[in-house]
Amino acid sequence: SDTNTLHVAILPSSGMGHLVPAVRLAASLAARNCRITFITTHPTVSLAESRLVSRLVSFFPNVTRQEFHLLPLDRSTANSNDPFCLQFETIRRSAHLLSPILSSCSPPLSALVTDPSLVSAVIPITEKLRLANYNLFIASPKMLSLLIYFPTIANTDLSTTSSKTTDYIEIPGIPPLPKSWLPPPLVDPSSLFRTQFIANGQEIVKSDGILVNAFDSLDKATVAALNGGKVMGRLPPVITVGPFVPLEFEKGSPVEWLDRQPVGSVVYVCFGNRTAASREQIRELGDGLERSGCRFLWVVKEKKVGEIVGHGFLERVKEKGLVVKSWVEQGEVLAHPAVGLFLSHCGWNSITEAALYGVPILGWPQGGDQKINGEVIPKSGLGIWVETWGWEEIVKGEEIGDKIREMMGDEKLKVQAARIGEEARKSVGVGGSSYKGLEGLVEKMRK
C-alpha cells in the first residue's frame, strides 16, 4: 500500500559520467519496489542525457521525472572555463529552489540521493526539510578519501617538486598519493572546481550514507580504511553497491561488426565523453592500432574522423578495424565475447564496466580524477597503466602498438581479469556484498 511505499528522490549532476550511475541506481531501487522521483535539471540536459532518462521513466512505472528549472549563472562570479564545472555551479546556486519540489512529493520522500559535486549546496536544504541525504559517489574509493581529506590539506603546498619525499600527499589510513595524480584544478588556488571540492569535502561527512560504485576487488582496502575511521573519524557509512550493471533499456543498436570477430580478438578504444586528444596524438594512436596487428573498435569523438586519421588509414584497416564517431553502448561492447582489451581514459564508470565483464584494461588517464581512479587497474590485476604515457608529449604509434600486442597475448592477465569479472557478478548477484549493500540501504531508508 501507499503507506509502505518508500519514495526516494535522485538528483544527479550534469554529464553522462554522473547520469549513468544515477540511472542505474534508480533502476536498482525501482526494481526493489521503491518509488523514484528522478530530478533532471533544465535547461542543459544534453540529448543523450535526456534520452537515457526517458528510457528509464518509460521502463519503470514507479519512476517519474521531475524538472528542476535552473537560474541563469552570473559568469563574472564563477572562475572556470570548464562547462561541467560551470554547470555544477549553476545547479548549486539554484539549490534553494529544490525545497518546494522535494516537499511537494507525494507520498512524502524518505530520502534524497545526490551527487558529490552538489552535496554542500543540497545538505542545508535536506537538513531544513529533515530529509535523509545520501550521496552517490561516482568515482573510486581513493577519490572519495581525497574528497573527504582535502579540506585538511588544501592550504599546504600541493605543487610537485623534484624532491621525492614531498611529492606525495599523506591521507591517514591509505598509502601516500603522488601529487601529480591530483586533478589539476585542485592545485590552482583560485579555481572554482577547487572551491566546490573543498565545500563538498567538508559537507559530505554530514550525509547519512555514501554509496560507491565499487566492490571488494576494486579497492577493498580503501573502503575498509574509510569505514574503520582511519581516514577521518565519524564518517557516514560507506556502502559498496557496485559494479552497476548496464541496463536492458540502455541498449542502442548493437555493433554487429563485433559478431563477426573471433573471441577475444578486438581491442576496444574509447576515451569517454570529454577527454581531448590532439590530432597528432589521434593519428599516432591510429598508427599504433594498425601496427598492433589486432582487430579494433575505436570510438573517435570527432566530427571529421576521416580527415584526422586519414582516408588512407581507413581504407587500409577496413578489414580489421571499425572506427565510429557516434555513441556506442559501451556496456554492450564490453560484454561482447569478441572484445579482449579496453584502451581506456580511466573514467570510473568505464573501469567498473570493464571489471564487470572481466575485460583487461590498458589505462591511459588524462586529467580530472582519472589518475586516482586508474590506480586500481594495476592494483587489482585488471590491467596496466603506462605511467610514462601522458597527453602533452606525443606517445608514438610504435610504442602503443607494442603495448597492445603484448597485452593481447598475455594469458595470465586474461585469467586475472576474468576472475575479477566473476567476483563482480558475485557481488551484485543475490546474496553478494553489493546486493546486500542495496538491501541494507533500502531498510535504512525505510526507518
Contact pick of 347, 360, 374, 401 for ligand BUP (by CB under 6 A): 347
Listed in sequence order, the DSSP H helices in 140-189 are 141-153
**20 in contact with ligand BUP (CB under 6 A):** yes
Residues 221 and 213: their CA atoms lie apart, in Å, by 15
**Residue 343 is inside which H or E element, if any?**
strand 339-344
SS3 137: strand
C-alpha distances in Å from residue 416, one per residue of 93, 114, 390, 403, 423? 46, 34, 26, 18, 11
**242 in contact with ligand BUP (CB under 6 A):** no
Contact 105, 7 (CB under 8 A): yes
Cβ distance to ligand BUP smaller for residue 168 or 391? 391
Q: Is 115 a catalytic residue?
A: yes
**399 in contact with ligand BUP (CB under 6 A):** no
Question: Among residues 2, 7, 18, 167, which one is catalytic?
Answer: 18
**350 in contact with ligand BUP (CB under 6 A):** yes
Contact pick of 330, 380, 427, 434 for ligand BUP (by CB under 6 A): 330
| Kind of pairing between the strands at 168-169 and 177-178 | antiparallel
Q: Which three cell numbers stand for residue 280?
A: 597528432
DSSP at 257 = G
Cβ distance to ligand BUP smaller for residue 247 or 445? 247
**116 in contact with ligand BUP (CB under 6 A):** no
Q: Minimum distance between the CB of residue 174 and ligand BUP, rounded to whole angstroms?
A: 21
Question: Among residues 7, 115, 219, 287, which one is catalytic?
Answer: 115
**214 in contact with ligand BUP (CB under 6 A):** no
- Whether omega before 72 lies within 30 degrees of 0, making that bond cis, reads no
Q: Which three cell numbers stand for residue 108?
A: 512524502
Using the contact rule CB under 6 A, the part of the chain among 147-155, 218-226, 345-353, 435-443 near ligand BUP is 345-353
**115 in contact with ligand BUP (CB under 6 A):** no
Residues 21 and 212: their CA atoms lie apart, in Å, by 10
In the window 354-393, what residues touch ligand BUP (CB under 6 A)?
368, 370
Q: Minimum distance between the CB of residue 166 and ligand BUP, rounded to whole angstroms?
A: 28
Contact pick of 270, 339, 356, 359 for ligand BUP (by CB under 6 A): 270
**140 in contact with ligand BUP (CB under 6 A):** no
Contact pick of 15, 116, 383, 421 for ligand BUP (by CB under 6 A): 15
Alpha carbon of residue 164 to chain centroid: 30
Cβ distance to ligand BUP smaller for residue 330 or 427? 330
Cβ distance to ligand BUP smaller for residue 17 or 125? 17
Q: Which three cell numbers stand for residue 406?
A: 603484448
**Any idea of the CA torsion for 396, 400, 405, 411, to the nearest 10 degrees?**
150
Residues 402 and 264: their CA atoms lie apart, in Å, by 18
Residue nearest to ligand BUP (CB): 17
Using the contact rule CB under 6 A, the part of the chain among 1-9, 109-117, 321-329, 414-422 near ligand BUP is 321-329
Residues 379 and 372: their CA atoms lie apart, in Å, by 12
Strand partners, 363: 344, 385
Q: How many residues bind ligand BUP (CB under 6 A)?
A: 21
Contact pick of 98, 143, 232, 299 for ligand BUP (by CB under 6 A): 299
Q: Minimum distance between the CB of residue 428 and ligand BUP, rounded to whole angstroms?
A: 15
**203 in contact with ligand BUP (CB under 6 A):** no
Cβ distance to ligand BUP smaller for residue 25 or 125? 25
Neighbours of 314 (CB within 10 A): 15
Residues 60 and 100: their CA atoms lie apart, in Å, by 25
**273 in contact with ligand BUP (CB under 6 A):** yes
Cβ neighbors of 189 (< 8 A, separation 6 or more) are none
Q: Minimum distance between the CB of residue 25 and ligand BUP, rounded to whole angstroms?
A: 13
DSSP at 264 = T
Query: For binding to ligand BUP (CB under 6 A), which residues are involved?
Result: 15-17, 20, 270, 272-274, 299, 327-331, 347-350, 353, 368, 370
List, by residue number, the catalytic residues.
18, 115
